[in-house]
Amino acid sequence: MGKWAIVYSSVTGNTKKIAEAMAEAVGEDCDLFRVQDAPEDVSGYDVVLLGYWLRLGAPDPLMLTYLPKVHGTRVCFFQTHGTAPTSEHAITSFARAGYRLGEGCEILGTFGCRGKIREEMLARRKNAAPDDPHGGEKSKERWRLASTHPDAGDEADAKAFIAAMRRKLAYKEKYLAARAAKQAALRQAHDRD
Ligand SMILES: Cc1cc2nc3c(=O)[nH]c(=O)nc-3n(C[C@H](O)[C@H](O)[C@H](O)COP(=O)(O)O)c2cc1C
């Protein structure tokens, strides 16, 4: 396994917590950067994990600015958000991250979990009208569910995600090597005929 980089953006610490759990799972072959300190060129890394928080249903502004600089490498996205990880809102955000990436990237996998929303934001949204996307009982329930995350389960899931990405890479390399060997054998047979 080559060198991995983790670049994350975090204001209140939720995404940072997940980034650190992932870095622990990757081990010593990992460089961990805040997006503010991340290298301009990460194409030398074997895998680059890009973590951000959701704002307006998309990666946060700092990560949106960084994504186009990432090119020619394998990428995983991870995100934290107030919404449920399986919601359309969360899943669409991965697509929004993907189309901001620079050229020649391969998206290896995605991970998302809830992250508590900071108090000032909740206070501002408390009196939102029921027809506002941040108003009504459904929003309050969403905030309640997010309020304890990321928790130990999310950190364990983040570590399991790293193990899954390693397995995926290993299967892929095995498959590509087998395919290359088959093609070489076919070419040899063709040359003999
Ligand atoms: C200004 C602002 C906008 C947000 N917009 C969204 C959003 O569109 N969708 C969502 O699910 N969560 C949204 N959230 C919640 C954050 O994405 C969530 O709390 C995240 O875990 C914060 O990550 P951090 O602690 O790493 O900064 C928003 C939070 C703030 C403060």
pLDDT over 90 (residue 115): yes
Ligand 1 pocket mutation pick from 117, 120, 121, 145 by most atoms within 8 angstroms of CB: 117
Stretch 90-114: mean pLDDT, rounded? 97
What pLDDT does 128 receive? 77
C-alpha 81 – ligand 1 centre gap (Å) = 5
Measure Cα distances from 19 to 24, 72, 135, 136, 174 in Å.
9, 22, 31, 32, 28
pLDDT confidence band for 139 (50 / 70 / 90) = confident
Task: Determine the average pLDDT of the residues in 7-16.
Answer: 98
Contact between 33 and 40 under an 8 Å Cβ cutoff? The reply is: no
Could you tell me the domains of the chain? 4-126+134-192 (3.40.50.360)
Q: Is the pLDDT of residue 187 over 90?
A: yes
Distance CA 175, CA 169 (A): 10
Above 90 in pLDDT, residue 4?
yes
Residue 157 identity: D
Find the DSSP H helices in the chain.
14-26, 61-66, 88-98, 119-125, 136-146, 152-192
Q: Which of 62-66, 157-161, 175-179 has the lowest mean pLDDT?
A: 175-179
Instruction: Dump pLDDT digits (tens) for 67-82.
Output: 999 999 999 999 999 9
As a whole number, mean pLDDT of residues 12-31 equals 97
Question: Is 70 exceeded by the pLDDT of residue 152?
Answer: yes
The tens digit of pLDDT for each residue in 103-114 reads: 999 999 999 999
CA distances from 105 to 136, 142, 184 (A): 40, 34, 27
pLDDT tens string 116-126 = 998 888 788 77
Does pLDDT of 1 surpass 70? Answer: no
Nearest residue (by CA) to ligand 1, atom 2, is: 55
pLDDT of 135 > 90? The answer is: no
Residue 123 CB–ligand 1 contact under 6 Å? no
Please give the average per-residue pLDDT across 56-76, as a whole number: 97
| Cβ of residue 83 lying under 6 Å from some atom of ligand 1 | yes
Q: Which residue has the CA at smallest separation from atom 21 of ligand 1? A: 115
At 148, the pLDDT band (50, 70, 90 cuts) reads very high
- SS3 of residue 61 by DSSP: helix
